Amino acid sequence: MALFINKPLTADRGCARDAVPPNRQNYQISVVGATEKRAESDVALPVGEGRCYTRGLKNGLEVVVVMRFADRLADIEPFRVVEVLTRAKALQQAGEDIVHMAAGEPDFTTAEPIVVAAQQALARGETQYSPAAGIPQLRQALSDYYRSDYGLDIDPQRIMITPGASGALMLLAGLLVNPGEGMLMTDPGYPCNRHFLRLVEGEGQLVPVGPEQRYQLDAQLAEQHWRPNTCGVMVASPANPSGEILNASQLRDLHTLCKQRNGHLVVDEIYHGLSFGEAAPSVLSITDEAFVINSFSKYFGMTGWRLGWLVAPEWAVPHLEKLAQNLFISMSTMGQYGALAAFASESRVILDARRDEFARRRDFLYPALRDLGFSIPHCPAGAFYLYAGIDRFAKDSQQFCLELLEEHGIAITPGADFGRYGAEKHVRFAYTTSMAQLEKAVDRLQRLYG
């Protein structure tokens, strides 16, 4: 990257004085990009060595700072939903009436018992580092949760508290993936999964899935796409962006395949608790050898608290703790004490009522969008999303989303955020806003497409 500063060079601009070519008047410089070099000069400038070059100008010196970035950044794409959210908020602040249907975040604030418990922890002075695996009380509470809600006996020593589900993903990437290896995952799917693997010099091996596979990766597909450098499979149930669920038989077959191939099975269960009808089964009911990622963000409504957890085989926990000690040191201590209250009966009544409200919103939005011509072959069984085809309206989902936002005040997410397969033909609607707002969005869409 080239940064041009029309001021004399000073040491506080991040460049050592001895890095400047001594005959600075002879340099004519034009450099663009971190991996591309264009020099209009008598001297070839090495892009990426972190040096500073200057040339004399009539009104002072022009400083060209050539910064080198790691190659992996070229493979880590921006999180487009964040860009949509930023623009939507800017329009709203400018006085526009925006219906927010882009964020994968419950619109409810954290349940009051959780907030009160965290406040009480602060008042007690619970502000020191916690153990890298989390406070023992929360690990035990999660073990009790698996017993009460799933009928499973999970040793609390196998449960690690993490800074969000993202922290769990980072730990598993560091634990399971060697440079050059990869894990199979769905396309479309949660975009950050493959980026965490790239961070450790691995790769997300994307498997195209569509409505005919209910946007899920089963054992047959995984076996077809298994490569010599594949080290495992990562799936989500319920899934983002589709809301589709893997049944117990599918999870069992994936475990069997991974065991036969000497690979690992990672299951993202962060939308558990947000199933509408029969509960999504946990892979922990099938095997102790799989890795489970979960979070306090979705069902528990604690997105900004940044707390998640990871259930791992017993052999893996010491290695995960070692990574956590180095990468995170600790999670929010007062946040963990707040999370203890999430399992109290008064909290569960609130959280279950919110789940029921999400179901009511789904039952309104799903038929309304289908009637307008959006393609949604199956009613999703969980999460809070509808992944919709837009063939009737547009061929470019990013442009479609931009026009809906800028011209009609509806913020949704383009399919490109979730992968490549069919991305230009799909968008994601999140029903993480009130019923009144959903009705307003449908009314605007009806005026456009009805």
pLDDT in tens, 372-407: 999 999 999 999 999 999 999 999 999 999 999 999
Percentage above 90 pLDDT, the chain: 79
Q: In this structure, are strands 2-5 and 60-66 parallel, antiparallel, or unpaired? A: antiparallel
340 touches 121 (CB < 8 A): no
pLDDT for residue 58: 42
At 245 the pLDDT is 97
User: Residue 60: which pLDDT band, with cuts at 50, 70 and 90?
Assistant: low
Q: Which residue would you say has higher pLDDT here, 228 or 52?
A: 228
Ranges 60-74, 145-159, 225-239: which has the least confidence: 60-74
E strands in 122-222: 159-162, 182-187, 203-208
Query: Hey, how many other C-beta atoms are within 10 angstroms of the C-beta on 288?
Result: 14
Residue 183 phi, psi dihedral angles, 5° rounding = -125, 140
Q: Measuring CA to CA, which residue among 241, 242, 294 is closest to residue 266?
A: 294
Coil vs helix vs strand at 392: coil
Residue 289 has pLDDT above 80, yes or no: yes
Of 117, 167, 131, 142, the residue nearest 335 (C-alpha)? 117
Whole-angstrom CA distances from 165 to 162, 269, 274, 293, 301 are 7, 10, 16, 6, 13
Instruction: For residue 228, count other CB atoms closer than 10 A to its CB.
Output: 5
240-285 pLDDT per residue, tens:
999 999 999 999 999 999 999 999 999 999 999 999 988 999 999 9
At which residue do the structure tokens 């479309």 appear? 188
Structure tokens given for 392: 């009737």
> What is the band of 68 on the pLDDT scale with cuts at 50, 70, 90?
low
Instruction: Please provide the average confidence, as pLDDT, over all residues in the chain.
Output: 88
Residue 275 DSSP symbol: B
* Distance set, CA 432 to CA 51, 120, 429, 436 (Å): 48, 29, 9, 12
Please give the pLDDT value at position 42. 37
- Indicate the helix (H) or strand (E) that contains 83: helix 80-93
Q: What is the pLDDT of residue 2?
A: 40
Could you give the CA distance from residue 356 to residue 24 in angstroms, rounded to a whole number?
A: 69
- pLDDT tens digit sequence for 184-205: 999 999 989 999 999 999 999 9
Low-confidence winner among 84-93, 387-396, 404-413 (lowest mean pLDDT):
84-93
- What is the rounded average pLDDT of the residues 206-215? 97
Kindly report, residue by residue over 419-442, the tens digit of the pLDDT.
Answer: 999 999 999 999 999 999 999 999
Of 27, 81, 62, residue with least CA distance to 415: 81
Both tokens assigned to 137? 């009380």
pLDDT at 53 over 60: no
- For residues 83-98, give the mean pLDDT: 91
Provide mean pLDDT across the span 107-127.
Answer: 97
Q: How far apart are CA 150 and CA 130, in angstroms?
A: 28
Nearest to 401 by CA among 425, 434, 377: 425
Residue 35, pLDDT score: 38
* The predicted structure's pLDDT at residue 44: 41
pLDDT tens digits, 211-223: 999 999 999 999 9
Over 50: is that where the pLDDT of 133 sits?
Answer: yes
| Residues 317-364 pLDDT 10s | 999 999 999 999 999 999 999 999 999 999 999 999 999 999 999 999
Cα separation of 169 and 263, whole Å?
Answer: 17
The first and second tokens of residue 294, run together, are 């979960």
Cα separation, 15 vs 245, whole angstroms: 53
What Cα–Cα distance (Å) separates residue 425 from each residue in 61, 85, 376? 50, 21, 12
Average pLDDT for residues 7-18, to the nearest whole number?
Answer: 36
Looking at the predicted structure, is the pLDDT value of residue 12 above 90? no
Which pTM value belongs to this model?
0.86
d(CA 430, CA 317): 35
pLDDT at 8 over 60: no
How far lies 252's CA from each of 193, 259, 284, 290, in Å? 22, 11, 10, 11
